């Protein structure tokens, strides 16, 4: 390392002693066990279930409670303690209401003692400095004193017992319990991976995003339902129309209006004017989450139809200006024969179930009417000027990507497009022939330009179009199907027209380890202990499907987190955890409600499947973070030599 770089480094470590202390600190961190990684995917706006899984660490909290207290506490007691850790404030209120003062006093002492033991266990793999930072500031000293061994104290039991009694006597038991519970939650999971599809279907994606913004360590792989929201914020009309159509279909316009403060009144007024009396039989809402506003269903069906027609127009305009997308086959408004009530798709003529399209001009089907143009301008303005949405989308860009290589595993949402002969499929998006990793990199580069390039510039508009392509394009790695048949499903009864062909990737990874090895190698990983972890396609466990593919090298962990998929999959999702000993999949039962979990102490972990037990325990030195720390150590050793050589001023 040259003297100029060493001089810059010396500003952070201005003395030989400072450099030496940091080397010792980093070397000690490398010797600690690897922290637990937690993987979730396809959350789809189910905020209550998401928060519960986050709190229980996919069963990690209960595993720790059982490991520490399994021999001395009953299963019922351990279940109650785990629920207390998940929801300390709410559970405390229930417990207090059902006990006499004397019973509560004894319960406080017992519970504090057990929480301290669990906290000691979960903090053992971290440095004291990291544990200290994880404790709520108000009671940091007290909690640190409780969980730190005092070797010099002869009668340790008496020492700690007096601390606990003092806490209860002065009326601070609740606060200390809450602090300990939050500490345990914080330390059982070191890093969280979200592998796509935070948005759509469920009622609370904005609440999920708020939680992620404040989570201690997280990264996100973009799913196709995320990129369409990213495109909507970036002003892409086709993305905006898709977002609104899905929101109204699932009865979730409250996410847009209340969650993000985007005004939909112009769309509502337009729909009432032009779609009053229109055939709405194909535009019933799939779900209604508005409760007392159920009488708005007719208006929302009108809005549903109006925005759907606007979507097809916006997509048609987008496809025409992007010949490199090769999607002309999805231009269907101009294939409608209104006189005969048919539409021709791929040479096949289908009867249409609805030909009442009040704002579609057969002579110019892809142009917005002046009123639609005005509505779309107002919607673009609303999405672009939502401060909360801006904060959430910025988070996705700063903490997310289309794929991620992390600790020897490859994470992506959908697939790596393949041909029928198991070679990599090529894409021409952007006028460049790409495949595999380069395809991912190029598409992500365009996706970032939609947010970071000057608004309205040619490259920014192209970036927004690519975000839409990632949502539904035929070679989109985040979508993974031949096409999205929204038009066909809305207007054609014949299910033959609804077919969306899955990418050959999904067939090969069922059993073929060669496909997995080829993909891992393409992304710079060797087979060995590396895995592909992705979601996107729900695993139908009730039909005998398994999330473990390609001899254990591929893990598809979408088991139907969204309520919309529960009937199809038979469960409520998979999650994955990797700690220093191995990796395991967790199968979840359907989540009823937060209230049910607190009162009945129900959990949603129904089964655990060990994927791999490591041959030896993994340490920080074996991780990507460990490699980074080792590089820092090398630099600091150079700095130490520089000081000792007399060049430095230390």
Tell whether the torsion through CA atoms of 99, 105, 106 and 112 is positive or negative.
positive
Kindly write down the DSSP assignment for every residue of 423-457, as one continuous string. SBPEE-GGG--EEHHHHHHHHHHHHHHHHHSPTT-
Question: Please, what is the Cα angle at 448 between 446 and 454, to 5 degrees?
Answer: 95
**What is residue 570's predicted lDDT score, i.e. its pLDDT?**
46
The edge-to-edge listing of strands for the beta sheet with 403-406 is 403-406, 409-412, 532-534, 554-556, 548-549
| Residues 452, 445: Cα–Cα separation, whole Å | 10
List, for residues 424-449, the tens digit of each pLDDT value: 999 999 999 999 999 999 999 999 99
| Residues 417, 414: Cα–Cα separation, whole Å | 9
CB 201 within 8 A of CB 564: yes
**What is residue 571's predicted lDDT score, i.e. its pLDDT?**
47
Residue 549's closest CA among 524, 531, 526, 574? 531
pTM of the model: 0.93
| Residues 605, 361: Cα–Cα separation, whole Å | 54
Question: Please, what is the Cα angle at 148 between 145 and 152, to 5 degrees?
Answer: 95
Q: What is the mean pLDDT of residues 463-467?
A: 98
- 59 vs 343, which has greater pLDDT? 343
Residue 333's closest CA among 320, 343, 348, 318? 343
| Residues 527, 519: Cα–Cα separation, whole Å | 10
What are the residues whose beta carbons fall under 8 Å from the beta carbon of 315, sequence distance 6 or more? Answer: 238, 241, 330, 468
**Residue 522, CA distances (Å) to 268, 295, 311, 439 in order:** 49, 54, 36, 11
List, for residues 91-128, the tens digit of each pLDDT value: 999 999 989 999 999 999 999 999 999 999 999 989 99
Burial bucket for residue 380 (CB in 10 Å: 0-12, 13-18, 19+):
middle
Spell out the SS3 assignment of 557-604.
Answer: CCCCCCHHHHHHHCCCCEEEEECCCEEEEEEECCCCCHHHHHHHCCCC
Q: Where are the chain's structural domains?
A: 3-32+623-644, 50-188, 224-385+435-485
CB 275 within 8 A of CB 302: yes
**What is residue 149's predicted lDDT score, i.e. its pLDDT?**
72
Kindly write down the DSSP assignment for every residue of 367-406, as one continuous string. SPPHHHHHHHHHHHHHHHT-HHHHHHHHHHHHHEESEEEE
User: How high does pLDDT run on average in the chain?
Assistant: 91
| Residues 284, 248: Cα–Cα separation, whole Å | 10
What are the residues whose beta carbons fall under 8 Å from the beta carbon of 102, sequence distance 6 or more? Answer: none
**Strand 574-578 to strand 218-221: parallel, antiparallel, or no bridges (unpaired)?**
unpaired
Spell out the SS3 assignment of 323-340.
Answer: HHHCCHHHCCHHHEECCC
**What is residue 153's predicted lDDT score, i.e. its pLDDT?**
60
Query: What is the percent of the chain with per-residue pLDDT over 90, rounded to a whole number?
Result: 78
List, for residues 234-262, the tens digit of each pLDDT value: 999 999 999 999 999 999 999 999 999 99
| Residues 532, 515: Cα–Cα separation, whole Å | 11
Q: What is the mean pLDDT of residues 333-348?
A: 95
User: 282 by DSSP, 3-state: which?
Assistant: coil
Q: What is the mean pLDDT of residues 569-594?
A: 80
List, for residues 140-158, the tens digit of each pLDDT value: 999 998 998 765 566 667 8
| Residues 605, 585: Cα–Cα separation, whole Å | 10
List, for residues 512-571, the tens digit of each pLDDT value: 899 999 999 999 998 678 999 998 877 665 566 788 899 889 998 875 666 665 555 444
For the beta carbon of residue 576, count every other beta carbon within 10 angstroms: 25
List, for residues 271-314, the tens digit of each pLDDT value: 999 999 999 999 988 765 544 444 578 999 999 999 999 999 99
Residue 201's closest CA among 573, 493, 544? 573
Q: Which neighbouring-strand residues pair with 344? A: 349
Query: Which of 289-293, 353-357, 464-468 is predicted with the least confidence, judged by mean pLDDT?
Result: 289-293
| Residues 487, 338: Cα–Cα separation, whole Å | 15
List, for residues 174-205, the tens digit of each pLDDT value: 999 999 999 999 999 999 999 999 999 889 99
Q: What is the mean pLDDT of residues 412-417?
A: 96
User: 554 by DSSP, 3-state: which?
Assistant: strand
Burial bucket for residue 339 (CB in 10 Å: 0-12, 13-18, 19+):
exposed
Provide the pLDDT confidence category of residue 37 given band limits of 50, 70 and 90. very high
Q: What is the mean pLDDT of residues 22-48?
A: 94
Q: What is the mean pLDDT of residues 335-339?
A: 94
CB 402 within 8 A of CB 412: yes
CB 92 within 8 A of CB 174: yes
Helix (H) or strand (E) holding 312, with range, is helix 297-321
| Residues 567, 547: Cα–Cα separation, whole Å | 17
Residue 575's closest CA among 186, 55, 34, 35? 55
**Residue 429, CA distances (Å) to 206, 437, 453, 618 in order:** 31, 14, 18, 41
Sequence-separated contacts (24+) of 584-591 with Cβ below 8 Å = 584/608, 584/609, 584/610, 584/611, 585/547, 585/548, 585/555, 585/557, 585/609, 585/611, 586/58, 586/59, 587/541, 587/559, 588/49, 588/53, 588/559, 588/561, 590/563, 590/566, 591/46, 591/48, 591/49, 591/52
């Amino acid at each position: 390392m040259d003297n100029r770089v060493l001089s810059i480094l010396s500003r952070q470590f201005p003395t030989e002693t400072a450099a030496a202390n940091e080397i010792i600190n980093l070397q000690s961190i490398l010797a600690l066990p690897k922290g637990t990684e937690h993987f979730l995917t396809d959350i789809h706006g189910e905020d209550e279930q998401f928060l519960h899984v986050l709190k229980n660490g996919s069963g990690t909290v209960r595993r720790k409670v059982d490991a520490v207290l399994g021999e001395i506490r009953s299963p019922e007691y351990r279940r109650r303690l785990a629920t207390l850790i998940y929801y300390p404030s709410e559970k405390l209120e229930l417990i207090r209401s059902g006990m006499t003062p004397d019973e509560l006093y004894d319960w406080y002492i017992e519970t504090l003692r057990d929480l301290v033991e669990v906290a000691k266990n979960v903090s053992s793999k971290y440095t004291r400095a990291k544990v200290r930072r994880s404790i709520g500031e108000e009671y940091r000293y007290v909690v640190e004193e409780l969980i730190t061994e005092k070797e010099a104290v002869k009668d340790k039991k008496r020492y700690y017992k007096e601390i606990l009694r003092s806490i209860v006597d002065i009326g601070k038991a609740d606060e200390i319990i809450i602090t300990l519970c939050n500490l345990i939650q914080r330390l059982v999971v070191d890093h969280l991976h979200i592998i796509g599809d935070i948005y759509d279907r469920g009622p609370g994606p904005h609440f999920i995003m708020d939680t992620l913004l404040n989570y201690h360590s997280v990264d996100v792989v973009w799913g196709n339902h995320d990129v369409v929201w990213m495109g909507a914020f970036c002003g892409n009309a086709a993305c905006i129309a898709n977002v609104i159509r899905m929101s109204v279909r699932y009865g979730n316009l409250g996410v847009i209006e209340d969650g993000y403060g985007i005004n939909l009144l112009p769309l509502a007024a337009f729909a009432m004017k032009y779609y009053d009396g229109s055939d709405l039989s194909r535009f019933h809402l799939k779900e209604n989450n508005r409760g007392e506003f159920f009488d708005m269903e007719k208006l929302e069906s009108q809005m549903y139809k109006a925005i759907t027609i606007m979507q097809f127009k916006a997509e048609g305009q987008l496809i025409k200006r992007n010949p490199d997308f090769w999607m002309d086959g999805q231009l269907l408004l101009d294939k409608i024969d209104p006189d005969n009530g048919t539409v021709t798709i791929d040479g096949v003529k289908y009867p249409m179930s609805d030909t009442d399209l009040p704002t579609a001009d057969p002579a110019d089907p892809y142009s917005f009417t002046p009123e639609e143009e005005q509505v779309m301008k107002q919607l673009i303005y609303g999405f672009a000027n939502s401060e909360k949405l801006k904060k959430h989308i910025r988070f996705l860009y700063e903490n997310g990507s289309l794929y991620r290589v992390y600790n020897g595993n490859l994470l992506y949402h959908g697939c790596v497009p393949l041909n029928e002969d198991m070679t990599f499929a090529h894409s021409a998006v952007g006028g460049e022939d790409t495949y595999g990793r380069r395809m991912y990199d190029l598409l992500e580069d365009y996706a970032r330009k939609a947010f970071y390039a000057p608004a309205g510039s040619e490259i920014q508009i192209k970036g927004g179009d690519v975000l839409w392509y990632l949502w539904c394009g035929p070679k989109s790695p985040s979508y993974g199907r031949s096409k999205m048949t929204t038009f066909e499903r809305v207007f054609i009864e014949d299910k033959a027209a609804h077919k969306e062909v899955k990418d050959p990737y999904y067939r090969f990874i069922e059993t073929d380890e060669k496909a997995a090895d080829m993909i891992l190698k393409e992304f710079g990983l060797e087979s060995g202990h590396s895995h592909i972890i992705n979601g996107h396609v729900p695993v139908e466990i009730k039909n005998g499907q398994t999330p473990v593919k390609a001899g254990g090298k591929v893990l598809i962990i979408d088991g139907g987190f969204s309520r919309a998929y529960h009937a199809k999959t038979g469960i409520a999702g998979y999650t994955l955890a990797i700690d220093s000993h191995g990796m395991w999949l967790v199968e979840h039962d359907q989540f009823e409600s937060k209230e049910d979990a607190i009162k009945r102490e129900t959990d949603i972990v129904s089964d655990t499947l060990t994927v791999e037990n490591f041959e030896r325990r993994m340490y920080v030195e074996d991780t990507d973070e460990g490699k980074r720390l080792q590089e820092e150590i090398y630099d600091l050793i150079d700095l130490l030599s520089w000081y000792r050589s007399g060049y430095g001023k230390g």
